[in-house]
């Protein structure tokens, strides 16, 4: 009897040992940087993180004497966004390769009167990447967790915190995103859940007595589909983002009906010289309700059926683009030219029900930004000096049926930004 027990147990142990040999331990690497910004502005600005994440200059704020209270030089110096992360790589279980990262930085100020400059640690990225080598050199990678949105990953050549927003999408979201690479092509598709960067909450704005609900929680998953092509010098990418949210969850005490659907296509191109000294990038996006990507967009109601408690929505269209370049290695000359313009809602707005990105002034019609930068790289230490000239057109008077203004005025802000960054 004993041998009948010993034999299968021995076989089980041998099999377990062979199975365990298929597992390769993971490698861990600590990384991050210490970063400090000193910023001088010619007027008050709309921005986050102690105004380091700069959106737009503030509109005029005249007093009784006609003086613009938002005009005047001001400055700030903060070590916010100092970052710490852990990269995990090298783990393999059978044919499956597993890697990932956990990344955090100091970001939001706590806002209390006694300690208004104490920063809070927040999660930036936390994802697992599953990879498989397929036939003929093809590869499949699936990212699960919070990481960069595919439309925001390719950023302009600048050293400021906002990295081009709102002329470039800026978003990290929980997602399941698959990347299939065959030859020079990579095809990407997946679903995202809105988390840190959110659409405007129409429910809370329309009725302050109603408990705020998240407009994305009761909609459908955000979808992305794109393709990229790459060779030694060129990298070209195009894709489309589809967002379905439920802005109005309740109509009084009754459940509201209707989804807001927004479709946002984009294109991106990058050229790199053979000696890697020069690089040129360009991106353009036609966003619908792109406020979750830090674009100055939004949405409105186009019709309303009282009997059915049904809302029809119309997204605001926003065209945002940039061109940027970088030359050099130790001494780097960088620069970006950005342009954005509100194109109006796709349908006429019903009863003035329009909700726009509140990160910057909701009256901005278009804006231009020029950002020349000089950087000095001494090993892992980077010193940079950047000049940011932003001109924004603010609407005056009443909006038309598509949310635009017939009259406007341009406001200009000059920003000088100095950065010291040590990477480890």
What is the chain's alpha carbon radius of gyration, rounded to the nearest angstrom?
25
pLDDT value at 257 more than 90: yes
Residue 322's H or E segment, with its range, is strand 310-327
Mean pLDDT for all residues in the chain: 91
Question: pTM value?
Answer: 0.90
pLDDT tier at 10, thresholds 50, 70, 90? very low
- Cβ-in-10-Å burial (0-12, 13-18, 19+) of 263 comes to middle
Is residue 36 in some structural domain? Answer: yes
What pLDDT is stored for residue 11 in this prediction?
Answer: 42
Is residue 2 in some structural domain? Answer: no
CA 45, 47, 53, 55 torsion-angle sign:
negative
What pLDDT is stored for residue 18 in this prediction?
Answer: 43
What pLDDT is stored for residue 119 in this prediction?
Answer: 81
d(CA 97, CA 396) in angstroms, rounded, equals: 57
pLDDT tier at 12, thresholds 50, 70, 90? very low
- Taking only the tens place, the pLDDT of each residue in 332-352 is 999 999 999 999 999 999 999
Please say whether the beta carbons of 49 and 81 come within 8 A: yes
Is residue 17 in some structural domain? Answer: no
Least confident segment among 59-73, 98-112, 373-387: 98-112
What pLDDT is stored for residue 22 in this prediction?
Answer: 80
Residues in the chain: 424
Q: Average of pLDDT values for 240-261?
A: 93
pLDDT value at 30 more than 80: yes
Other beta carbons less than 10 A from residue 3's beta carbon: 8
Please say whether the beta carbons of 386 and 160 come within 8 A: yes
Kindly report the three-state secondary structure assignment for every residue of 214-240.
CCCCCCCCEEEEEEEEECCCEEEEEEE
% residues pLDDT > 70 (the chain): 91
User: Pairing between strand 405-423 and 71-78?
Assistant: unpaired
What pLDDT is stored for residue 150 in this prediction?
Answer: 97
pLDDT tier at 15, thresholds 50, 70, 90? very low
Is residue 15 in some structural domain? Answer: no
Is residue 329 in some structural domain? Answer: yes
Is residue 79 in some structural domain? Answer: yes
CA 342, 344, 349, 352 torsion-angle sign:
positive
d(CA 286, CA 170) in angstroms, rounded, equals: 15
d(CA 200, CA 355) in angstroms, rounded, equals: 6
Please say whether the beta carbons of 390 and 413 come within 8 A: yes
Is residue 383 in some structural domain? Answer: yes
How many domains in the chain? 1
pLDDT value at 209 more than 80: no
Of 258, 350, 347, 343, the residue nearest 301 (C-alpha):
350
What pLDDT is stored for residue 9 in this prediction?
Answer: 44
pLDDT tier at 68, thresholds 50, 70, 90? very high
Is residue 14 in some structural domain? Answer: no
Q: Three-state SS for 46?
A: strand
- Dmax (CA) for the chain in angstroms is 104
Least confident segment among 49-53, 202-206, 302-306: 202-206
Q: What is the CATH number of the domain that holds 263?
A: 2.40.160.10
Domain that holds residue 411: 27-423
What pLDDT is stored for residue 357 in this prediction?
Answer: 87
pLDDT value at 7 more than 80: no
Of 311, 319, 363, 310, the residue nearest 342 (C-alpha):
319
What pLDDT is stored for residue 360 in this prediction?
Answer: 84
pLDDT tier at 358, thresholds 50, 70, 90? confident
pLDDT value at 180 more than 90: yes
């Amino acid at each position: 009897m004993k041998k009948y027990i010993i034999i299968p147990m021995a076989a089980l142990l041998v099999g377990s040992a062979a199975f365990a040999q298929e597992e390769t331990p993971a490698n861990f690497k600590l990384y991050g940087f210490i970063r400090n910004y000193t910023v001088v502005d010619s007027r008050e600005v709309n921005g986050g993180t102690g105004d380091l994440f700069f959106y737009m200059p503030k509109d005029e704020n005249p007093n009784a004497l006609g003086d613009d209270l938002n005009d005047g030089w001001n400055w700030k110096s903060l070590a916010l966004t100092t970052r710490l992360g852990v990269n995990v790589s090298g783990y393999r279980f059978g044919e499956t390769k597993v890697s990932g990262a956990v990344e955090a930085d100091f970001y939001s100020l706590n806002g209390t009167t006694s300690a208004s400059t104490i920063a809070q640690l927040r999660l930036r990225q936390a994802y697992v990447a599953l990879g498989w080598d397929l036939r003929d050199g093809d590869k499949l990678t699936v990212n699960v967790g919070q990481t960069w949105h595919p439309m925001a990953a390719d950023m302009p050549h600048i050293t400021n915190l906002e990295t081009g927003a709102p002329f470039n999408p800026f978003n990290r979201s929980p997602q399941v995103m698959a990347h299939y690479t065959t030859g020079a092509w990579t095809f990407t598709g997946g679903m995202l859940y809105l988390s840190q960067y959110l659409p405007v909450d129409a429910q809370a704005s329309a009725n302050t007595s109603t408990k705020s609900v998240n407009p994305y929680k009761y909609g459908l998953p955000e979808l992305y589909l794109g393709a990229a092509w790459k060779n030694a010098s060129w990298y070209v990418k195009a894709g489309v983002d589809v967002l379905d949210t439920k802005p109005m969850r309740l109509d009084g005490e009754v459940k509201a009906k209707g989804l807001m659907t927004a479709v946002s296509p984009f294109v991106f191109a990058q050229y790199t010289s053979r000696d890697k000294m020069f690089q040129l990038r360009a991106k353009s996006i036609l966003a619908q309700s792109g406020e979750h990507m830090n674009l100055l967009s939004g949405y409105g109601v186009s019709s309303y059926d009282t009997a059915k408690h049904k809302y029809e929505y119309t997204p605001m269209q926003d065209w945002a683009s940039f061109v940027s370049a970088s030359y050099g290695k130790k001494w780097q000359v960088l620069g970006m030219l950005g342009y954005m313009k509100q194109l109006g809602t796709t349908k006429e707005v019903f009863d003035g029900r329009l909700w726009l990105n509140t990160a910057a002034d909701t009256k901005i019609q278009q804006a231009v930004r020029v950002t020349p930068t000089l950087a000095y790289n001494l090993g892992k230490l980077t010193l940079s000096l950047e000049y940011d000239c932003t001109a924004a057109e603010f609407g005056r008077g009443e909006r038309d049926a598509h949310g635009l203004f017939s009259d406007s005025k341009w406001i200009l802000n000059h920003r000088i930004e100095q950065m010291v960054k040590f990477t480890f």
